[in-house]
């Protein structure tokens, strides 16, 4: 059985990780640099981890006991393969032009490379092997409703914890137009959770208070973005000039809405500081979802940010490991296990 939550406990620490494709290098590098100053993997310092899309991959890795350094290495080593940019500059240029046409006719990339890379790092582990409570947003395009993968941190969560972790990772990362919808091991077709919760801080706050019953005034949330494009509004009107910015506008609106909800729930900043948001504003197009050419630059930017944030974050999040997570439901052995 789950250990009863103490409502009088002083604080609950939550990690929220945005989506953003290869830009996941930014949060992974921040966490990796912070982790160098800690006694154990950084995921062990949080009571709840929530991540969408690329943030969901990081969240799953941390929850399953991987170090942030291992996850950063995954992005650096497998990113070019996942986004098919590992054949040299000329071949990459040709394939980039081909993908521009393919993107109009189907999906920009094959899911096979991502699936293989994730299997190599996650293996056959199931969600129920997580050492930390985790929530991974996805979207069910047929029924048009949200789909959340969750560990067994509540009695009514009776199925997800049995599922392969790779199902949650592939589902939350199946970005429309980039990758095809993912068919899970239990035959459910899902797409990227970023279509409704690219910044999952609102999901995190609601889960903490509404599901786990933690007092909003006891939450501390570390929210890490994947860099944000900034672009002045066009002086020209009409669909032609608005079209390229529609996705960016929707993402920005969702993020602001999620941050607002989390602030209401936690009382930040009016009654106390409860949310630490780390993100960088960069010129539009500087870091795209699939351009691996600037991984080193993103990592350098993240390392510098981590150095600046370390003293305050250590005081609020890394003074001691989180309490041990004991799931409500025990994970059954695999059917084909000896």
pLDDT in tens, 83-138: 986 555 544 444 554 544 455 446 789 899 999 999 999 999 999 999 999 999 99
Task: Write out the H or E segment, with its range, that includes residue 74.
Answer: helix 68-82
* Residue 9: pLDDT over 70: no
From the candidates 53, 67, 130, 218, which is the catalytic residue?
53
Would you state the pLDDT for residue 215?
97
Contacts of 261 (CB under 8 A, 6+ apart): 201, 202, 205, 206
Q: Which residue has the tokens 């989390």?
A: 262
* Residue 268: pLDDT over 70: yes
Burial class (CB in 10 A: 0-12, 13-18, 19+), 137: buried
What is the Cα 307 distance to its own chain's centre? 22
Q: What is the pTM of this model?
A: 0.90
Whether 39 sits among the annotated catalytic residues: the reply is no
Whether 124 sits among the annotated catalytic residues: the reply is no
pLDDT in tens, 294-307: 999 999 999 999 99
Would you state the pLDDT for residue 235?
55
Q: Is 21 left (phi over 0), alpha (psi -120 to 50) or beta?
A: left
Would you state the pLDDT for residue 333?
80
pLDDT in tens, 51-67: 999 999 999 999 999 99
Q: What is the mean pLDDT of the chain?
A: 89
More confident position, 252 or 148: 148
Q: Give the three-class secondary structure for 45.
A: helix
Per-residue confidence band for 3, with pLDDT thresholds at 50, 70 and 90: very low
Q: CB 249: neighbour CB atoms within 10 A?
A: 12
From the candidates 192, 218, 223, 290, which is the catalytic residue?
192
CA gap 311, 17 in Å, rounded? 20
Query: Strand pairing of 145-150 and 133-140?
Result: antiparallel
Measured CA to CA in angstroms, residue 77 lies from 88, 111, 234, 260, 332 at distances of 15, 17, 38, 36, 34
Would you state the pLDDT for residue 8?
53
Would you state the pLDDT for residue 1?
38
Per-residue confidence band for 244, with pLDDT thresholds at 50, 70 and 90: low
Measured CA to CA in angstroms, residue 219 lies from 46, 52, 210 at distances of 11, 20, 12
Could you tell me which of 16, 38, 40 has the C-alpha nearest to residue 27? 16
Would you state the pLDDT for residue 105?
47
Would you state the pLDDT for residue 336?
60
More confident position, 230 or 137: 137
Average pLDDT (248-260) is 88
Domains of the chain, start order = 12-317 (3.40.1090.10)
């Amino acid at each position: 059985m789950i250990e009863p939550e103490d409502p009088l406990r002083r604080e609950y620490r939550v990690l929220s990780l945005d989506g953003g494709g290869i830009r996941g290098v930014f949060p992974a590098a921040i966490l990796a640099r912070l982790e160098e100053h800690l006694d154990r993997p950084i995921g062990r310092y949080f009571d709840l981890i929530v991540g969408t899309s690329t943030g969901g991959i990081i969240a799953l890795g941390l929850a399953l006991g991987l170090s942030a350094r291992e996850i950063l290495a995954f992005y650096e080593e497998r990113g070019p393969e996942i986004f098919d940019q590992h054949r040299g500059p000329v071949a990459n240029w040709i394939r980039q032009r081909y993908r521009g046409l393919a993107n109009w006719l189907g999906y920009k990339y094959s899911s096979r490379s991502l699936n293989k890379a994730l299997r190599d790092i996650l293996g056959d582990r199931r969600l129920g092997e997580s050492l930390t409570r985790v929530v991974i947003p996805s979207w069910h395009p047929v029924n048009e409703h949200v789909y959340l993968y969750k560990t067994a941190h509540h009695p009514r969560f009776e199925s997800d914890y049995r599922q392969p972790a790779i199902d949650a990772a592939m589902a939350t990362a199946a970005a429309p137009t980039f990758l095809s919808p993912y068919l899970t091991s239990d035959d459910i077709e899902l797409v990227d959770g970023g279509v409704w919760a690219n910044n999952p801080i609102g999901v995190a706050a609601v889960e903490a208070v509404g599901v786990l019953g933690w007092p909003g005034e006891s939450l501390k949330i570390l929210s890490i973005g994947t860099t944000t494009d900034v672009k002045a509004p066009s002086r020209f009107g009409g669909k032609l000039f608005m079209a390229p910015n529609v996705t960016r506008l929707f993402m920005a609106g969702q993020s602001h809405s999620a941050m607002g909800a989390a602030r209401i729930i936690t009382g930040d900043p009016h009654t106390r500081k409860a949310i630490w948001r780390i993100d960088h504003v960069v010129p539009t197009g500087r870091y795209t979802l699939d351009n691996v050419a600037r991984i080193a630059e993103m990592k350098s930017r993240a390392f510098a940010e981590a150095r600046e944030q370390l003293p305050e974050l250590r005081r609020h999040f890394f003074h001691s490991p989180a309490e041990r997570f004991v799931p409500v439901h025990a994970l059954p052995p695999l059917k084909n296990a000896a």
